[in-house]
Amino acid sequence: MPKYKNPPLVEALCEFQFEAGEPFDNTIPGLFYAEIKGEYPIKKQQRGIDFKLNQADGKFEATPGISEKSQFYNKEENALIQIGTNMLAVNTLTPYPGWEAFKPMITKHREIYQQLATPKGIKRIGLRYINKINIPEKEHEGSVIELKDYFTFIPQTPKALPSNVSSFNLKVDIPYNDGRDTIILILASTKPDKENTMAVFLDIDYSIVNNSKTALDENEWIEEAHSNIEMAFEEILTDKCRALFMETIQ
């Protein structure tokens, strides 16, 4: 895969949801922090609302509840580890260190979590790459920016309507490996970083949706997920879009 001088990646993350062997021990985040505080000394707490699906009489009900995550940042605050109830997430922000550095970061912290929490298994893994692509209007000398010039995956409008759209949010789910995995592709307009620019989010999320189909090797799965994300990224871009990333950062 090509290496870009000015890659559009704003965040990459890998999230694990575990099947607990025993009820989650609230001391685990503190024990985890003791293991990683040399690299991730900054502690933060995040609270939010979670919905859990419960089945009764053949019906599913969504029950809201409060979720808490412990977040541990490195000194530059461009990488963090998140711990919640039976979950671990490893995030890296810009500048992206490359897969050669990010994959060992994922593996290392997954192993630390599993040693401390001793989960029964893994229910879900998700690997996600979020890109923000800025298209300067100067490239078009006053003409309308056509999405088809930059992406092969675009919203379609009826022939009788103008093809240029002011905002959009396009999402598709594509199954992989006989339905064990799925890749979610999202292309959406967003606020640009500069004036006279169109900005587009390209969000690629590859995850397990049915872990019961085959025995799972976490490291092999993550490598395969990354390869499929890279392939999707390259297939979605046109050469004109790639040219934007070849420019030297000013």
- Per-residue pLDDT band for 158 (boundaries 50, 70, 90) equals confident
Q: Is the pLDDT of residue 225 over 70?
A: yes
Q: What would the CATH number be for the domain defined by 1-18+126-250? A: 3.30.2030
Q: Angle at Cα 128 formed by Cα 236 and Cα 137, nearest 5°?
A: 45
Least reliable range by pLDDT among 156-165, 181-190, 227-236: 156-165
DSSP state of 179: G
CA triple 78-201-234, angle to 5 deg: 95
Q: What is the pLDDT of residues 162-174, one digit of tens each?
A: 767 778 999 999 9
Sorting pLDDT into bands at 50, 70 and 90, what band is 60? Answer: very low
Instruction: State how far the Cα of 139 lies from the Cα of 135, in Å rounded to an integer.
Output: 8
pLDDT mean over 207-212: 82
Name which of 14, 9, 10 is nearest 224 in CA terms: 14
Q: pTM of the predicted model, to two decimals?
A: 0.87
Residue-wise pLDDT tens digits, 66-90: 578 999 999 999 999 999 999 999 9
Domain boundaries, the chain: 1-18+126-250, 21-119
What helix, strand, coil percent values describe the chain, rounded to 5? 25, 40, 35
So what's the pLDDT on residue 157? 80
pLDDT (average), residues 102-111: 97
Residue 137 and residue 198 in contact, taking contact as beta carbons nearer than 8 Å: yes
Pairing label, strands 169-176, 42-56: unpaired
